[in-house]
Amino acid sequence: MNFIINLFTPFVEFFTVVFKYAPKFDKAIIYTLELSIFSILLGTLIGLIVTTLKLTKFKVLQKIAYFYISIVRGTPLLLQLYFIFYGLPLIGLEFNSFTSAIIGLAFHSGAYISEIFRGAIVSIHYGQEEAARALGMSKVQSFFHIILPQAFKRSVPSLGNQFIIAVKDSSLASVITITEITLTARQFSAATYNPFPILFIAGVYYYVIITILSKSLKRLEGRLRVDER
C-alpha cells in the first residue's frame, strides 16, 4: 500500500503545482500572443516592402534591402534585442521594453519573410508576366494581379514555418524585461524552487499556441489549393 502511495506522490505534487500556477500565466500568454501577432503582421509588412525594394530597378534601394537582410541574418536576435533596448538609448533613441521587443522581432522576421517572398516571386514562370504584359498590363498591374497572388500562395508553407519561429522567438523578449511566458516561468521557478512543473506549464502553452497556428495555416493552405487539379 505504502509502495503505491510513494509511487504516486511525486505526480500528485507535480500536478498540484501545475494546476496552481497554470492560471497565473494569463497575462504572460497575452504578452506572448501580442508579441507574436505584431511580429508576424509587421514582419510580413516589412517583408513585402523589402521584397519590393529588392525587385526594383533602383540599385541604391536594392543595396539598402540587402544590407538590412545581411545584418539581421548575420547577427543573433538576442544581440539585436539588447542593441535596441540598451544600445539605441545611448544615441537618444529610447523605446519602452515592449516597443523595443516588437521592433526587434518584426525587423528580424521581416528579413526572413522578404526572402521567402522573393523566392516565391522568382519561382513564378516568366510566361505569366509575359502573358499579362502582352494583354496590355503595366508592370505594376501584372505584379499585383498576376504575380503576387500566385507567389503568395506558393509562399504559405514557408511563411507558416516562419510564423511558428516568430512565436518561439518571442521568448527572447524575456531578456528585455517583458513578462511573457518564458520570463514568467523563470520568475515562478525562482519563487517556488520547483522549476520542473513551471517549465512544463510554459511548454504546454507554447505547444498549444503553435498547434493552433499551424492547424489554421494548414487550413489556409487547403483553401488556397482550389485551383489545382
Partner 1 sequence: MKDKLIIKVEGLHKSFDNLEVLKGIDLDVHEGEVISIIGGSGSGKSTLLRCINFLEKKNKGNIFINGKKIKRSANEINKLREKVGMVFQRFNLFPHKTVLKNVMVGPVVIKKKNKEQVEKNALKLLENVGLEDKADVYPAMLSGGQQQRVAIARALAMEPDVLLFDEPTSALDPELVGEVLHVIDKLAKGGMTMLIVTHEMGFAKEVSDRVVFLHEGKIEESGTPTEIFDNPKSERLKSFISSIW
Which residue lies nearer to partner 1 by CB, 27 or 225?
225
Q: Minimum distance from CB of 122 to partner 1 (Å)? A: 17
Contact between 216 and partner 1 (CB under 8 A)?
no
Contact between 56 and partner 1 (CB under 8 A)?
no
Which residue lies nearer to partner 1 by CB, 26 or 130?
130
**For the CA atoms of the chain, what is the radius of gyration?**
23
Euclidean distance between CA atoms 34 and 18, whole angstroms: 24
- Give the up-direction half-sphere exposure of residue 171: CA atoms within 13 A in the CB hemisphere: 16
Q: Minimum distance from CB of 117 to partner 1 (Å)? A: 16
Site for partner 1, residues 10 to 39, rule: CB under 8 A: none
Helix intervals (H) in the chain: 2-21, 26-55, 59-74, 77-82, 97-122, 126-135, 139-142, 148-169, 181-192, 195-224
Candidates 19-27, 43-51, 108-116, 221-229 — which segment interacts with partner 1 by CB under 8 A? 221-229
Would you tell me how many other CB atoms lie within 10 Å of the CB of residue 146? 18
Spatial CA neighbour of 117 closest among 147, 80, 74: 147
Copy the grid coordinates of residue 134: 502582352
Euclidean distance between CA atoms 87 and 105, whole angstroms: 16
Q: Minimum distance from CB of 144 to partner 1 (Å)? A: 9
Which residue lies nearer to partner 1 by CB, 57 or 91?
57
Is residue 136 left, alpha or beta, with left meaning phi > 0 and alpha meaning psi from -120 to 50? Answer: left
Which amino acid does the sequence have at 177? Answer: T
Site for partner 1, residues 109 to 148, rule: CB under 8 A: 125, 127-128, 130-139, 141, 145-146
- What is Dmax (Cα atoms) for the chain? 85
Q: Minimum distance from CB of 225 to partner 1 (Å)? A: 10
Contact between 218 and partner 1 (CB under 8 A)?
no
Q: Minimum distance from CB of 145 to partner 1 (Å)? A: 5
Contact between 93 and partner 1 (CB under 8 A)?
no
Binding-site size for partner 1 (CB under 8 A) equals 23
- Which listed residue (153, 165, 186, 210) binds partner 1 by CB under 8 A? 153
Which residues sit at the interface with partner 1, rule CB under 8 A?
125, 127-128, 130-139, 141, 145-146, 149-150, 153, 226-229
